[in-house]
Amino acid sequence: MKLIAGLGNPGKNYERTRHNLGFRAVGFFLSAEAQNFTFLHLNKRFNALVSEGSFENEKIILACPQTFMNSSGTAIKTLSSYYKINPQDIWIIHDDLDLVLGKLRISQRRSSGGHKGVQSIIDQLGTNDFLRFRIGIRPINIETKRIDIEKFVLQKFTTEEEKIIQEAVEKVALALKVALEKGIGRAMCEFN
C-alpha cells in the first residue's frame, strides 16, 4: 500500500499558487487515472481530501492535507497510522524553491531544505525516510536570497510560467505512474 500526498494550502485564495503544486499534481494524476480511484473528498478523520484506489494491483491512498502547509505532518501521520503505511511507502509531492521552475527531482532521505511542510512531516513521522517528488518554482532570473520567501510561495504563476508548470505537473503524473509500474529506481533514472 502507498500513500501519495500533495502538499498545499486549502481554500480558493491559494489555488494555483506556487505553494500548491502538490495539490495540483495529485489532482492531475487523479484525473488521468480516474477509472482506478474514488472521487477526492474531505475526510474529517484525517483532515485531508482523500481518494482510495488501486494501481497495478496495489492499494493507493491519494491525499491533500487540509491542515495548511506548515502543519502537513499531522494529516500525513494520521493517514499513515490509520492505514499502517511505512514511511518508505509514503510519497510526498511539493514545491521546491531550490529547483529551477518546472524542474522535477525525485529524492529520498533528505533534509527538509527549509520547506516547512516537509519539516512538519519529518517531525511528525520521526524520520525523513519517505519519497519526495520536488517541483521547482524558482524563476531562472531570481536569486532566492533577495526575495521574501513567504510572500513569493503564495504568489500565482505568470502566464509564461503557467505553461512550464502545467508541463511539470503532467511530468509528475507520468513519474508517479512509472514509479508505481516499474519502481522508484526506474522513475529516478527517467525523470531526475
Note the pLDDT tens digit of each residue in 135-177.
999 987 776 666 788 899 999 999 999 999 999 999 999 999 9
Type and span of the H or E element at 65: strand 58-65
- CATH tag for 2-191 (out of 3.40.50.300, 3.40.50.2300, 3.40.190.10, 3.40.50.1470): 3.40.50.1470
Bridge partner residues of 60 (DSSP)? 2, 53
pLDDT of residue 175: 97
The C-alpha atoms of residue 150 and residue 19 are separated, in whole angstroms, by: 10
Residues of the chain with pLDDT under 70: 143-146
**Residue reference for cell 486549502:** 10
In the sheet that 58-65 helps form, which strands lie side by side, from edge to edge?
41-43, 48-55, 58-65, 2-6, 90-100, 131-138, 104-108
Identify whether the C-beta of residue 48 lies closer than 8 Å to the C-beta of residue 75. Answer: yes
Identify whether the C-beta of residue 19 lies closer than 8 Å to the C-beta of residue 118. Answer: no
Give the active site residues. Answer: 19
pLDDT of residue 145: 67
The C-alpha atoms of residue 29 and residue 32 are separated, in whole angstroms, by: 5
Residues whose CB falls within 8 Å of the CB of residue 167, separated by 6 or more in sequence, listed in order: 102
Residues whose CB falls within 8 Å of the CB of residue 53, separated by 6 or more in sequence, listed in order: 33, 36, 37, 38, 59, 60, 62
pLDDT of residue 56: 85
- The vertex-187 CA angle with 181 and 188, nearest 5°, equals 155
pLDDT of residue 142: 72
Identify whether the C-beta of residue 159 lies closer than 8 Å to the C-beta of residue 106. Answer: no
